[in-house]
Chains A and B, each alone.
Chain A
Amino acid sequence: MMRVEDIAALTTTAEGTEFAAAPCGRLSVVDTALLEGIREGRNAAFEQLVARYQPMVYNLLFRLLNHPEDARDLTQETFLNVFRFAKSFRGDCEMKTWIYRIAVNQASNHQRWWKRRWRRETVSLDAVETEDGQSLAERIASSDLDPEQQTLLLERQRHLTAALATLKFDFRVAVVMRDVRGLTYEEIAEALELSVGTVKSRIARGREALRQALKDRF
């Protein structure tokens, strides 16, 4: 959550004069101030933007690509694109949705790039290693579950991650945004610039594919 002093930092120029941050399109006052700061190239705005949205972007990309290094690289690229395109963003959707759109486009381009180079989409269990250096197994082991439950949960999540990685990219995006990130149909439709009907269809087909892949394992 952004604090009052954070907003003040964003609305203060280098000369110390403040400008009025009128809401832009569908953006909140806070996001409008943040966007203005990014357009002006202010360091405080960059820091606030990254602090607010970096986990969201990284986790989305990590689930879409199933590769921590690629997710890190594309997270950085996503934020650079936010800076590059901030001037042309008219606030016709929420900042979060707009950033999701950029991130998904990055992942899509990355996916195509790998496909052109005939990289097989292998599913590595090591890929579930998390950002803090812990593997998924280590993270589960450090939780309050008993060893048997931990093993079962770990096994489930490995199977789920593997099944997710085999989904067609469009279905994977829709399922991850809905069931992992918890976005509404409308938010997904805006982020992907699709109709709500298409989003529902992709989610349903993605879920069905996952269900089929996991029905004997869960």
Chain B
Amino acid sequence: MMNCEQFTQNLSPYVDADLPGEHTDAMAFHASHCAACHAQLVDLQTVRAALRDLPETPADPALSRAIVSAMRDAALRREREHWTDFRWLLRRLAVRPMATGYGVGLAITAMLFVGVLVSFKPVMRLTQGPEYNVIYMPVEDMRPFVPRAQNARPIAYTRPTIGTVAPGSAAQPSALFLTDEEGGVVIIAEVSPTGQARCIRLVSPNTDPRTAAAIDAALQRTAFRPARTKQGNPIATQIVFLVDQVLIKG
């Protein structure tokens, strides 16, 4: 048997016809025997009917036009902002986290690889320009070979012995040089368009004055072939070459 409290609790679903059959019957039975609960039911049904009957405002054309216009403006604004706002890109990337991860990893690997290539300094690099040859060597210790070389007598061109340095062959040691100087000796010389040469620097960590003097003397007896332009005109050039072994007689 349903009491008044239970009736009140079930009143709302009852008017919505949302109660199971046996509950609906019990509610109807209780309402027919309890005046207070019946009045409650009538009141609620009246309120519901009044709510349902509240007038509906029809569509307002002016409001509709204003809304459509505002939406169109918003669409145009979004179109303009699309290309200046990178958030759309971030949102797209966020949709595919795995692909984004692979992409970022690939980009980092490529950057590291390029970085290694750029920072790598070969022991010797030959660069051939259009009109001259340059041998570049990273050298820690450079010191003047023969100070008096600045005033040395120019060596006349007699025979092509070494000439300008060709890529891949840093130097052609003269038959006069036969020694076991460890690490070799780097010689920097200047050759004039007329084939006259002079020493500028000697680079070697272990060269003693005796060896330096011997190399200087040998160089003075060596003739160089001057560098030439593409048109065949001789030009001044600097040459750098490595001597592996030097034999000092006497």
Contacts and interface: CB of A to CB of B under 8 A. Distances in A.
A164 B64 CA distance: 27
B52 A179 contact: yes
Contact of A63 (B47, B48, B54, B60): B54
B117 interface: no
A182 B53 CA distance: 11
Given A59-B56, A59-B57, A62-B57, A204 B70 contact: no
A136 B57 CA distance: 10
A80 B57 contact: no
Nearest to A55: B59
A160 interface: yes
A218 B46 contact: yes
A180 interface: yes
A132 B59 CA distance: 9
Interface in B80-117: none
B55 A72 contact: no
Nearest to A163: B47
Contact of A210 (B47, B56, B76): B47
Size category, A interface = 35 or more
A96 interface: no
Given A84-B74, A180-B54, A203-B12, A214 B63 contact: no
B72 interface: yes
Interface residues of B, number: 36
A207 B12 contact: yes
B137 to A, nearest CB: 62
Contact of B43 (A50, A176, A215): A215
B24 to A, nearest CB: 16
A132 B79 contact: no
A164 B60 CA distance: 24
Nearest to A157: B54
A175 B47 CA distance: 11
Interface in B12-70: 12-13, 16, 18, 40, 43-44, 46-48, 50-60, 63-64, 66-68, 70
B193 to A, nearest CB: 71
B68 A58 contact: no
Contacts of A41: 72, 75-76, 78-79
Contacts of B11: 204, 207-208
A67 interface: no
Contacts, number: 122
B57 A54 contact: no
A94 B235 CA distance: 86
B71 interface: yes
Contact of B58 (A132, A180, A218): A132
B8 to A, nearest CB: 8
Contacts of B70: 76, 79-80
Interface string A47-78: 10011001100110011000000001001100
A37 to B, nearest CB: 11
Contacts of A72: 60, 63
A108 interface: no
Contacts of B76: 41
A138 B32 CA distance: 40
A46 B71 contact: yes
Given A41-B78, A83-B75, A218 B63 contact: no
B68 A47 contact: yes
Q: Which 5 A-B pairs have the closest CB atoms?
A: A41-B75, A204-B12, A179-B51, A131-B57, A46-B71
10 contacts: A46-B71, A47-B68, A51-B59, A55-B57, A63-B54, A72-B60, A76-B70, A80-B70, A132-B58, A182-B52
Given A58-B59, A80-B70, A157-B54, 20 more contacts: A46-B67, A46-B72, A50-B68, A51-B59, A55-B56, A76-B66, A79-B67, A79-B70, A80-B71, A130-B57, A131-B60, A157-B55, A176-B51, A179-B48, A179-B51, A180-B51, A180-B52, A211-B40, A211-B43, A215-B43
